[in-house]
Amino acid sequence: MRKVAIIGVGMTKFGELWDKSLRQLLVESGLEALEDASEKRTLRGKDIEAAYIGNMSAGLFNEQEHLAAMLADYTGMTEGNRPATKVEAACASGGVALYNAYLAVASGRYNIVAVCGLEKMTDLLSGSVTDALVSAADREYEAFYGVTFPSLYAMMARRHMHDYGTTLEQLALVAVKNHRNGYYNPKAQFRRLITVEDVYRSPVIADPLRLLHCSPVSDGAATIILADAKTAKKYTDRLVYILACAQASDTLGLYNRKDLTTMESVVSASKVAYETARLKPKDIDFVEAHDCFTIAEIMAYEDLGFCEKGRGGKMIEEGLTEIDGEIPFNPSGGLKAKGHPVGATGVAQAVEVVLQLREEAEQRQVKGAKIGMSHNIGGTGSTAVVTIYGRDV
């Protein structure tokens, strides 16, 4: 397996982008990534040998399928008739696209590969958005009976509270922290500070989860460009390497889980990633985690091995995951504040990790960061991708 580097990153602002089309978002993030990669020599769309696009459901959200052809068409890849592939894995679509692109370069099949994550969700009314999203759960045995993703994660939260004493304040502190980080992210959807009291006063969505425990409906796109180490050095010296990338699966339905408070897919993927990179949790300097709901971040502390099962709530309470803490989580603001255009999220996490490792994250910079991690999940953890990155190899 060859060493794989990220040579360029690009990302649109996340939010309610009604004035931009799906196509415009794709092109904007792609052009930014090409420009970012062109430090020593110009990288053009025709130089990309293959591309993967992560998208959950443009067919439901925008009535547009065949996004891989759109990607090839509007990035100049059709000049060489290069292959482009759409990847769908619910909210982990971006992460799985990254996983496939990583394997394509590491195996030697291609030298330069683009990865785009894309979703435009705000063109629909809220009820239609909820229905589209719940297609990532078990439609026949969960959604048919009225289950939504807030209610599924509410069950996980309630069980975690019952088994381990996790508190409403600890859940709220995750939201407060991530909004504080997102305040310093110019591309975040929500750049405003909130308090624990604000979380308590927000409307109940699915008890115990309130509005400010939940990530928003968002539009946005993110793109990264991968290359083998030899090719990468021809374009830039600002290299960030993928030290490991692992994917795992769990049951589609939450009802089939052995433990509602553990995502076995995350446990498995992180174990493989640590072993591949020859690292341990203590070696990771920061994490971009999939905090679609605040309980998901607390579970990630545990499933990724940063604390024992049940102590996730204590980690946020003790400030260990703050940007200046022992193991910062979501310096970007996470899905909670940065936004969650579902297909784009896994790629946007990689963009943030790269900026952090290049020391280009400005006021949200994690000091001395050398090793970063991203954690991208689909559904209730039915799919998980865990990636470890480093500046030096």
CA dihedral sign, ordered 141, 146, 148, 150: negative
Active site residue 307: no
Give the N- to C-terminal CA distance of the chain in Å, as an integer: 14
CATH topology of domain 137-216+243-390: Peroxisomal Thiolase; Chain A, domain 1 (3.40.47)
101-155 residue pLDDT tens: 999 999 999 999 999 999 999 998 889 999 999 999 999 999 999 999 999 999 9
| pLDDT of residue 392 exceeding 90 | no
Please tell me the least confidently modeled range out of 62-76, 238-252, 278-292.
62-76
145-200 residue pLDDT tens: 999 999 999 999 999 999 999 999 999 999 999 999 999 999 999 999 999 999 99
191-216 residue pLDDT tens: 999 999 999 999 999 999 999 999 99
Q: Which residues fall within 8 angstroms of residue 93, CB to CB, at 6 or more apart?
A: 54, 55, 56, 87, 117, 342, 343, 346, 378
In whole angstroms, give the CA distance from residue 363 to residue 113: 31
Residues 151 and 206 sit within 8 Å (Cβ to Cβ)? yes
Residues 87 and 50 sit within 8 Å (Cβ to Cβ)? no
Mean pLDDT for the chain? 97
**Could you say which of 66, 91, 214, 245 is catalytic?**
91
CATH class of 4-125+218-241: alpha beta
The phi, psi pair for 243, rounded to 5°, reads -85, -25
Q: Do 137-216+243-390 and 4-125+218-241 fall under one CATH topology?
A: yes
Instruction: Tell the residue number behind the tokens 């110009």, with chain if given.
Output: 42
Burial bucket for residue 56 (CB in 10 Å: 0-12, 13-18, 19+): buried
Using 50, 70 and 90 to split pLDDT, how confident is the model at 393?
low
Residues 265 and 382 sit within 8 Å (Cβ to Cβ)? yes
- Strand-pair category, 383-390 with 371-378: antiparallel
CB-hemisphere CA count at 13 Å for 214? 21
* Full-model pTM: 0.98
Give the start-to-end residue ranges of the domains of the chain. Answer: 4-125+218-241, 137-216+243-390
Q: Which residues fall within 8 angstroms of residue 42, CB to CB, at 6 or more apart?
A: none
In whole angstroms, give the CA distance from residue 115 to residue 374: 15
In whole angstroms, give the CA distance from residue 284 to residue 281: 6
Active site residue 179: no
Q: What is the pLDDT of residue 16?
A: 97
In percent, the amount of the chain with pLDDT more than 70 equals: 100
In percent, the amount of the chain with pLDDT more than 90 equals: 96
Within the chain, residue ranges assigned H as helices are 22-37, 58-62, 67-74, 93-106, 126-133, 149-164, 168-182, 196-201, 229-232, 264-277, 294-303, 312-317, 334-338, 345-357
Residues 47 and 79 sit within 8 Å (Cβ to Cβ)? no
Residues 179 and 331 sit within 8 Å (Cβ to Cβ)? no
**Could you say which of 160, 213, 290, 340 is catalytic?**
340
Secondary structure (DSSP) of 234-250: TT-S--EEEEEEEEEE-
Secondary structure (DSSP) of 345-356: HHHHHHHHHHHH
